[in-house]
Chains A and B, each alone.
Chain A
């Protein structure tokens, strides 16, 4: 595949592996999620340039809007879990389960 496709494909795979294998902090998972969103943005922006159609040009902007909402939700969850569990360490998350 071309080097362009390689770049965002590998960025996406690396970020998703980072999301799957985060060890201690929840915030590293959120950062990897953002990285996935970034690579998807680049991919969506490249597609109308490659196929020379101008209508889908707005799609990356829409995706960005939804990604911002999602990041906000993630951060809210982070703050909520920090307030209840004291930190964002993952091994704390099943301690207060009743």
Chain B
């Protein structure tokens, strides 16, 4: 059997199956979409996408397809080329599995929404754009997917657009992503003018790697993956419904920036500046996000900052020149982060919209399945041995400890790992254990299979995904094999220290008194003072500069002083001077003018 044909066909069939709910209603009036048809479409796509992944795991076969070239400049080829290699073949089933679970959950979560079908089609559009981004082989197709996910993120965050906070959050997401797009376009322009191509195969440069396009790529990843400096949109994006947060802002869209860096890895693999930049930026982001998550009281914001912290960890891995390990962390992170969001959605709906963890407690007995899966997800996030997060996170920490890098990045990352344990354990303790702090009459019911089966499916994935992926994939770089015992146990030790700290802290906060403000708690609560500083300062400066240039410079000085009125002032000063010398006998002047003309004419004849 020609496995090559099967690989390509099944991959294209996956994408085509996803497009059917968009195309079929346009062809006939009877074929309307419903949430269940879209969910079953994604499930079918997932099952079909298992075929190419199995072929890859069996024989290591990769494929590169190119069809239809856009001929609009003569000597610049822009083919629509799709690359089916390890990254895309492995990520397709994972993304589709997570999306299927989220869509099934969303049919329960958004059941009371009148436009639920539009919501599902938005999610489907987003999924298609994300898969286009994953499978792209040149930066043009990747850019199409990039912009697609950006727009769908905007539309989905502002789903409840009657709420002013949701609109501001969506606007923030679009503006910050735009800044990153500038970086991506810079890189594309540089590539088009220097290497005359946008294909990823043709951009591996041997020794001197230029810094400018790499800086553009890092800027794009900073914006899309919410690294420090362009990060405020990610916590604000929690204004969207929980399925949106689960799909976009935990598993798929925010990893697009890291995925771009993974794809273009050969470009900067030999550039120590770029690698150090990624390392330090990632370390700073992971620590900053973990610090901000320590004092958050909204359950979705805690998980959002946790996502931001894990994205920083992925950036650190890129900085260590280990793109495959970053991809492994992306894959395992998708499972448990989506599950954490789904569990929080179930809790929020059961408590009739309550998202504050200070008003939850003792839910272990009332929502057993949800809270058990919440515990599994939190343990996987902390890197508990042999759950999914362990295989990627522990490998990253081990490589970090045994590499030649600056101590600052190492310290920040280890501190952030410890903080991860602190905030996850704080969330678990406040939500699940302790005294009950919820109002007595709540519609608490988790016995719907639309809720339970996605969560348990993802829990199964959170437990087994790491093991399954690492046992089937050969690493491209040799992992560190020998290290002292203390280095080997570093991740576990800092996590355990963080957990002990969290237990101590939770004992201190049993009484509901106002916490005392000191510098560090203020820093953590106000998210590092970043939002008011940048959002007010930069916009004030920009608008002031605009007013200075437009009205003061152009209108007042150029048009008035140097332009017409300046000329008028000059003439006026001259004529004022002349007036005193004038006698004003116009008739005499004109008569003498006529007389002299007459004399001249007569003298020439």
Residues of A within 8 A of B (CB): 16-17, 19-23, 29, 90, 93-94, 97
Contacts and interface: CB of A to CB of B under 8 A. Distances in A.
Contacts of A16: 594, 597
B584 A97 contact: yes
Contacts of B582: 94, 97
B594 A17 contact: yes
A75 to B, nearest CB: 17
Interface stretch (B333-341, B476-484, B493-501, B585-593): B585-593
Contacts of A22: 587, 590
A88 B584 CA distance: 14
20 contacts: A16-B594, A16-B597, A17-B594, A19-B590, A20-B591, A20-B593, A21-B590, A21-B591, A22-B587, A22-B590, A23-B587, A29-B590, A90-B586, A90-B587, A93-B584, A93-B586, A94-B583, A97-B579, A97-B582, A97-B584
User: Interface SS of chain B: helix, strand, loop or mixed?
Assistant: helix
Given A90-B586, A93-B586, A20 B594 contact: yes
Nearest to B582: A97
A20 B586 CA distance: 9
Contacts of A90: 586-587
Contacts of B597: 16
Interface in B552-584: 579, 582-584
A97 B578 CA distance: 12
B584 A20 contact: no
Given A17-B594, A23-B587, A94-B583, 10 more contacts: A21-B591, A22-B587, A22-B590, A29-B590, A90-B586, A90-B587, A93-B584, A94-B582, A97-B579, A97-B584
Contacts of B586: 90, 93
Contacts of A93: 584, 586
Contacts of B590: 19-22, 29
Contacts of B593: 20
In the A-B complex, the 9 residue pairs with the smallest Cβ-Cβ separation, listed nearest first, are A94-B584, A20-B594, A20-B590, A93-B584, A20-B593, A90-B586, A97-B584, A17-B594, A20-B591
A38 to B, nearest CB: 19
Nearest to B590: A20
A12 to B, nearest CB: 11
Contacts of A23: 587
A77 to B, nearest CB: 12
B346 to A, nearest CB: 79
Interface in B266-295: none
A16 B586 CA distance: 15
A3 B594 CA distance: 25
B604 to A, nearest CB: 15
B546 to A, nearest CB: 36
B584 to A, nearest CB: 3
Contacts of A29: 590
Contact of B594 (A21, A94, A97): A21
Nearest to A23: B587
B594 to A, nearest CB: 3
Contacts of A19: 590
Contacts of B594: 16-17, 20-21
A20 B584 CA distance: 15
B80 to A, nearest CB: 54
A48 to B, nearest CB: 27
A58 to B, nearest CB: 27
B509 to A, nearest CB: 82
A57 B526 CA distance: 76
Contacts of A21: 590-591, 594
Contacts of A17: 594
A30 B590 CA distance: 13
Nearest to A91: B587
A16 B600 CA distance: 15
A68 B477 CA distance: 83
A90 B589 CA distance: 12
A21 B590 CA distance: 7
A94 B583 CA distance: 7
B413 to A, nearest CB: 75
Contacts of B591: 20-21
A25 to B, nearest CB: 12
A41 to B, nearest CB: 21
A91 B354 CA distance: 93
A37 B529 CA distance: 74
A29 B590 CA distance: 10
B580 to A, nearest CB: 8
A20 B589 CA distance: 8
Q: Which of B583, B586, B591 has the most CB of A within 10 A?
A: B586
A69 to B, nearest CB: 14
A71 B205 CA distance: 71
